[in-house]
Structure 1
Amino acid sequence: MSKTAHKGYTLQFTLSLLVIVSILLTAIVSGYSALHANKQSLSTSYLENNYDYAKKLSLNTTELIESMQRNLHAMSEMASSQPFTQRALDLWFEANQYFNSIVIVDTRQNIKAISPANTGISPGARLNSQQSLKAIELKKPLISEPYKAKSERMIVLISSPIFAKDGTYSGFVGGTIYLEENNALSSLLKEHFFGNGSYVFVVDQGKRLIFHPKKERINDLVTTNTIINQVVMGKSGYQEVVNSENNSFFAGYSYEPLSGWGIISQTPTSVLDRPLKKLTDRLLIQALPLLSLILLIVWWFARRISKPLFTLARFSEEAILHRAAIPAQLPVIRSKFYEVTQLYQSINAHINLLSAEIQLDGLTGLANRKSFDLVIDEWQDKRIPFSLIFLDIDHFKKVNDTFGHVTGDEVLKYAASTIRSVSREEDLCFRYGGEEFGILVKHGDTGLATDMAEQLRKKIASGTNPTGSVITISLGVSSSESALSNKQLIEQADQALYQSKSEGRNRTSVHGFSTVR
Structure 2
Amino acid sequence: MKLHHLPYILRRRDAILKYFIKKGFTLRFTISLLVITAILLTMLTSITSAVQVNRASLISNYLNKNESYAKKLASNTNELLITMQENIRAIAKISEREDVMDIQLFDDLFQENTQYFNSIVVADNNRIIRALSPRTVGISIGDKLTSEQSKMAVDTKKPFISEPYRATTGRLIILVSAPIIDKSGHYKGFVGGTIYLEEKNVLSNMLKEHFFGDGSYVFVVEKSGDLIFHPNQKRIGQSVVQNDVVGKVIQGQSGSQRVTNSEGNRFLAGYAYEPSSSWGIISQTPAEVIDKPLYNLVKRMLLVSLPFLLLILLLGWWIANRIAKPLHTLAQFSDEATLRPVPAENIPDIRSYYYEVRLLSQSVKIALQNMNQDLTHLRNEVKIDELTGLANRRAFDGMMAGWVESNIPFALILIDIDHFKHVNDTYGHVVGDDVLRYLARIMQLMSTEDDLCFRYGGEEFGILVKHCGLGRAKDIADRLREQLAVTKSPTGAAITLSAGIAAFPVHGRSVKQLVKKADEALYQSKKDGRNRTTVSKLTDP
Select 1:168's aligned residue among 182, 186, 194.
186
Any residues of structure 2 matched to 1:401-440 within 5 Å, and which?
Answer: none
Select 1:75's aligned residue among 69, 91, 95.
91
Residue 51 of structure 2 is aligned to residue 51 of structure 1: no
SS of the aligned residue for 2:136 comes to helix
Q: Aligned residue for 1:291?
A: 309
How much does 1:81 deviate?
Answer: 2.2
**Counterparts of 2:20 and 2:312, CA distance in 1:** 27
Distance 1:9 1:333, change over 3 A: farther
Q: Aligned residue for 2:275?
A: 257
Select 1:12's aligned residue among 28, 34, 52.
28
Q: Aligned residue for 2:51?
A: 35
Residue 196 of structure 2 is aligned to residue 178 of structure 1: yes
SS of the aligned residue for 1:274 comes to helix
Match for 2:109: what amino acid? W
Q: CA RMSD in A?
A: 3.0
How much does 1:193 deviate?
Answer: 5.5
How much does 1:158 deviate?
Answer: 0.6
**Counterparts of 2:291 and 2:88, CA distance in 1:** 48
How much does 1:53 deviate?
Answer: 1.0
**Counterparts of 1:311 and 1:215, CA distance in 2:** 80
Q: Aligned residue for 2:106?
A: 89
**Counterparts of 1:277 and 1:80, CA distance in 2:** 65
Any residues of structure 2 matched to 1:396-475 within 5 Å, and which?
Answer: none
Task: Give the structure-2-normalised TM-score.
Answer: 0.57
Match for 1:52: what amino acid? S
Match for 1:37: what amino acid? V
Match for 1:176: what amino acid? T
8 A Cα contact 1:311 1:331, kept in partner: no
**Counterparts of 2:264 and 2:349, CA distance in 1:** 71
Select 1:22's aligned residue among 21, 35, 38.
38
Residue 206 of structure 2 is aligned to residue 188 of structure 1: yes
Structure 1: state its 5+ residue gaps: 315-326, 347-517
Any residues of structure 2 matched to 1:21-420 within 5 Å, and which?
Answer: 21-83=37-99, 84-97=101-114, 98-192=116-210, 194-307=212-325, 331-332=349-350
**Counterparts of 1:224 and 1:234, CA distance in 2:** 16
8 A Cα contact 2:326 2:351, kept in partner: no
SS of the aligned residue for 2:251 comes to coil
How much does 1:331 deviate?
Answer: 2.6
SS of the aligned residue for 2:139 comes to coil
8 A Cα contact 2:125 2:188, kept in partner: yes
Summarize deviations over 1:356-396 as a string: whole Å, max 9, x none.
xxxxxxxxxxxxxxxxxxxxxxxxxxxxxxxxxxxxxxxxx
**Counterparts of 2:41 and 2:245, CA distance in 1:** 39
SS of the aligned residue for 2:109 comes to helix
How much does 1:194 deviate?
Answer: 2.6
SS of the aligned residue for 1:244 comes to coil
Summarize deviations over 1:186-242 as a string: whole Å, max 9, x none.
111111153422111000000000000101000000122111111111111111111
8 A Cα contact 1:93 1:101, kept in partner: yes
Match for 2:298: what amino acid? T
SS of the aligned residue for 2:64 comes to helix
**Counterparts of 1:6 and 1:311, CA distance in 2:** 15
**Counterparts of 2:286 and 2:328, CA distance in 1:** 60
SS of the aligned residue for 2:195 comes to strand
**Counterparts of 2:233 and 2:21, CA distance in 1:** 77
How much does 1:71 deviate?
Answer: 0.5
**Counterparts of 1:147 and 1:77, CA distance in 2:** 26
**Counterparts of 1:111 and 1:309, CA distance in 2:** 105
Identity %: 51
8 A Cα contact 2:219 2:230, kept in partner: yes
How much does 1:297 deviate?
Answer: 0.7
SS of the aligned residue for 1:241 comes to strand
Match for 1:257: what amino acid? P
8 A Cα contact 1:236 1:254, kept in partner: yes
8 A Cα contact 1:80 1:164, kept in partner: yes
How much does 1:46 deviate?
Answer: 1.4
Summarize deviations over 1:293-350 as a string: whole Å, max 9, x none.
1111111111222245668999xxxxxxxxxxxx9x983399xxxx9xx89x99xxxx
SS of the aligned residue for 1:33 comes to helix
How much does 1:133 deviate?
Answer: 0.8
**Counterparts of 2:292 and 2:240, CA distance in 1:** 31
How much does 1:5 deviate?
Answer: 4.1
Match for 2:48: what amino acid? Y
How much does 1:94 deviate?
Answer: 0.4
8 A Cα contact 2:241 2:247, kept in partner: yes
Summarize deviations over 1:153-173 as a string: whole Å, max 9, x none.
000001001112111111110
Task: Give the structure-1-normalised TM-score.
Answer: 0.59
Match for 1:96: what amino acid? N
With 72-81 and 174-183 compared, the bigger mean Cα shift is at 72-81
Summarize deviations over 1:244-302 as a string: whole Å, max 9, x none.
11111111111111000000111112222222222222122112221111111111111
8 A Cα contact 1:311 1:333, kept in partner: no
SS of the aligned residue for 1:194 comes to coil
Structure 2: state its 5+ residue gaps: 1-18, 333-344, 365-541
Match for 2:216: what amino acid? S
Q: Aligned residue for 2:495?
A: none
8 A Cα contact 1:230 1:236, kept in partner: yes
**Counterparts of 2:20 and 2:158, CA distance in 1:** 97
**Counterparts of 1:258 and 1:91, CA distance in 2:** 28
